Structure 1
Amino acid sequence: MDEPVFTMHARVSKPVFLGMLWAFTAVSFLFVLFRIVVRYGSFRRLYLDDFFVLLAWSIMLTTAIIWQIQGQVLYEIYAISAGTQSYTPDTLPKFLKFMRFIAPLTILFYSSLWCVKFSFLAFFFRLGSKIQSHRIWWYVVLAVTAAVWISSVADIDYKCSLGGLEDILIQCSDLRHVQYENRTFWANCAGDVITDLLILSIPVLMLWNIRISIGKKLILLAVFSATILIMAVAIIRVVINIDLDRSVDISWLYFWSFIEMGTAIIISCIASFRQLFVTSQNQHLYGKAAYRTPYQKLPNIGRKGYGPGESGPRGEGNTESQRSAVGATIVPLDVLYVRKEFEVANVPATKRPPLNREWE
């Protein structure tokens, strides 16, 4: 009866596990903090995607605190299994109490990961293209992403976490049950990667239709494609750890779970930094620039009439106001489009103004 419990071996040491756990939590916090400061400094407010990232990091912090406490019990069991620590009467009750946290910790993991996905979706919706097909595709991706999160939480083996001690020690160590549990890990990994690819397809469609240079498109696509790193970590988490016929090593599985959570939060913040730069230059990446040529507002410097505030002929004494008016109307050339047809006519030489005369 004790055999399934005390044949556990840690693939990652306790200092490495806890050190990595808090390192990713701290680093991701710095990225989140920088994101919030820049966002608030630029827009004087936070958006829905920012709150999703904050929620994802809060869940990660909660998970880290739980593991800091309950990880002591896990590594105590590893020590008993390795023969470096003696078995005591309270070992099994401790083990049962520890297993009670496995299902909630798994729910927190998927919830944190999916908060990052929903953050990306909210981010792209706010940028959103006005093309109806793009909007429809966004709603399709949202529905699929939500459905995969629900299924990932639903297929957790709650019986082997919240059940009795006999169920955990005997039934959950049965080969058929182990194979079923490992298949769910593979299925959830597939859902994780597929939803990431679907979310990545949204900015790809947008970039395909906007009128910016190829270089800028490639830069933006490279930034958004950083989510591929999250997919790589998700695959590594399962491929390295899961053997279909063997029970999963808890420390190794959650070691990579924390790496995936931290990486997802960091990548979501990096992707938003590029958008902040683009927004500051052109107000809206996927919108249309609404600049009008300000000819009517320019001072009358090309004729003899006096504009507002002019104090003498040719606008003398009003040089500073003219300069400020002209300077206020300057817009970036890359967003200014002028369409005007001009007719060129031969002008008699007698009517041409001398080149050295001032503007009248």
Structure 2
Amino acid sequence: MADEAGQGITERGLVAVIWTLAGVSTVLLGGRLLIRNLVLKTFHLDDIFGALAWLLMIICMICSTLEAPLSYQYSAILIGETPMPPEAELESMTIKLRRWGVASQMLFWTSLYCVKFSFMFLYRTASGARSEYGKAWLGGMVYITLCYGICLIGVFGQCGDARYLWTFAQCSTPYVMGLDAKLIWVDYAFNVTSDLVVVILPMPVIWRLHMRLKQKLALSGICSLAIITIAFETVRTVKLYQENNNLTNLYSYLELLVSVLTSMLPSYRFLISPSDKDREYRRLFWTRITLRSYHSASSGYSMQNYDQTSRPAESQRAIHKGLETSQDVPPLPTGRNPV
């Protein structure tokens, strides 16, 4: 179709896809924050980074939507659908697109790495104070942060020198084109290895936990969600390296959108988990949603009493004071995520 401008998808179709997925991510974020507020009565760093990743993703999608008309116009010129404009006009379009591109790439990488930090802080909260894991976690955080810095260097170094970003002649030389092709694979290598750190790091801890094999596999599956983004990153990088516009932009947006979306999913695990702790979380969540009194599996436990005795020490003091509760009710943890 003529209005695809060689990108393999129409401008309306592209906008519809990215905002549909952005809407799904928004709903999942709202549910995540509601769950944490009702069940844990607090938020952790993984929630903060998850919300920040969503916010930056939304801003990136706004920039992409505003950029789309110019991007399709430029692509139509490159493939010959639209007559070549005067040289000065083409140079102006190129610089304007690069300005949009630098802004979008900054938002893209920052949002993507906020997703990784969200997973890392989730692991930290779930693992507790394990000294042997703490060193590995710190090393992983340092490596992921370095990878983020390298990706940002690639954004500002795509013309060889940041001073030439807004200069058409200096950014169109054969040297710069060759450098750009190399930077694409450098970014890919560091981005994928940082994803693998997010996937592999919690595995030793998970498989040493005293739980059923089915639960270990479920937790490992949650930690392996980053593999999905590796697939999109691979396709996107190959398309960029080939300098083929066909669906290139769509793959780039999908990588970010799917990454943010999957970062919300661990918060919903307790809704389907068969463990006793997660069943208690489910009962508490639904009773607070319906504004009814919470009853544990063993005896009555009102929401009012739960709010007053959410910590084990406070629960023990409340028991000695004679509050209406049963001595065999296990206190629900408040310092951990329901994962």
TM-score, normalised with respect to structure 1: 0.70
2:48 paired with 1:45: no
If each structure's helix is expressed as a fraction of its own residues, which one has the higher value? 2
1:219 & 1:45 partners in 2: Cα distance? 25
Task: Give the distance between the partners of 1:85 and 1:45, measured in 2 at CA.
Answer: 56
Aligned partner of 2:67 in structure 1 is 70
1:329 alignment partner, one of 324, 327, 330: 327
In 2 relative to 1, CA 282–121 (structure 1 residues): closer, same or farther, beyond 3 Å? farther
| Equivalent residue for 1:273, pick from 256, 261, 268 | 268
How far is the alpha carbon of 1:331 from its aligned partner? 5.0
Q: How many residues align?
A: 283
Do residues 255 (structure 1) and 265 (structure 2) align?
no
**Contact between 1:56 and 1:112, CA under 8 Å: does it hold in 2?**
yes
Matched residue type, 2:253: F
Q: Amino acid of the residue matched to residue 159 of structure 1? A: C
Separation of aligned partners in 2, 1:230 and 1:167: 34
Equivalent position of 1:159 in the other structure: 159
Unmatched 5+ stretches in structure 1: 1-7, 284-289, 298-323, 333-360
Q: Is the 8 A contact 2:137 2:201 kept in 1?
A: yes
Matches within 5 A, 1:209-358: 209-243=208-242, 248-249=243-244, 252-274=247-269, 280-281=278-279, 328-331=326-329
Deviation readout 1:46-66 (Å, 9 max, x if unpaired): 221111111111111111111
1:89-238 equivalences in 2 (<5 Å): 90-156=89-155, 157-159=157-159, 162-168=165-171, 170-171=172-173, 174=174, 176-238=175-237
Alignment correspondent of 1:21: 18
Larger Rg: 1
Measured after TM superposition, the shift of residue 249 of structure 1 is: 4.3
Deviation, structure 1 residue 330: 3.6
CA RMSD in angstroms comes to 3.1
> Comparing 257-266 with 158-167, which one deviates more in the overlay?
158-167
Deviation at 1:200?
1.8
* Distance in 2 (alpha carbons) for counterparts of 1:119 and 1:42: 19
Q: Distance in 2 between matches of 1:254 and 1:50?
A: 28
Residues 24-57 of structure 1, C-alpha deviations (whole Å, 9 max, x = no match): 2112111111111111111122221111111111
CA distance in 2, matches of 1:82, 1:227: 35
Cα separation, 1, equivalents of 2:93 and 2:14 = 20
> CA 1:39–1:91 in 2, change beyond 3 Å: closer, same or farther?
same
Judge which range, 112-121 or 88-97, deviates more.
88-97
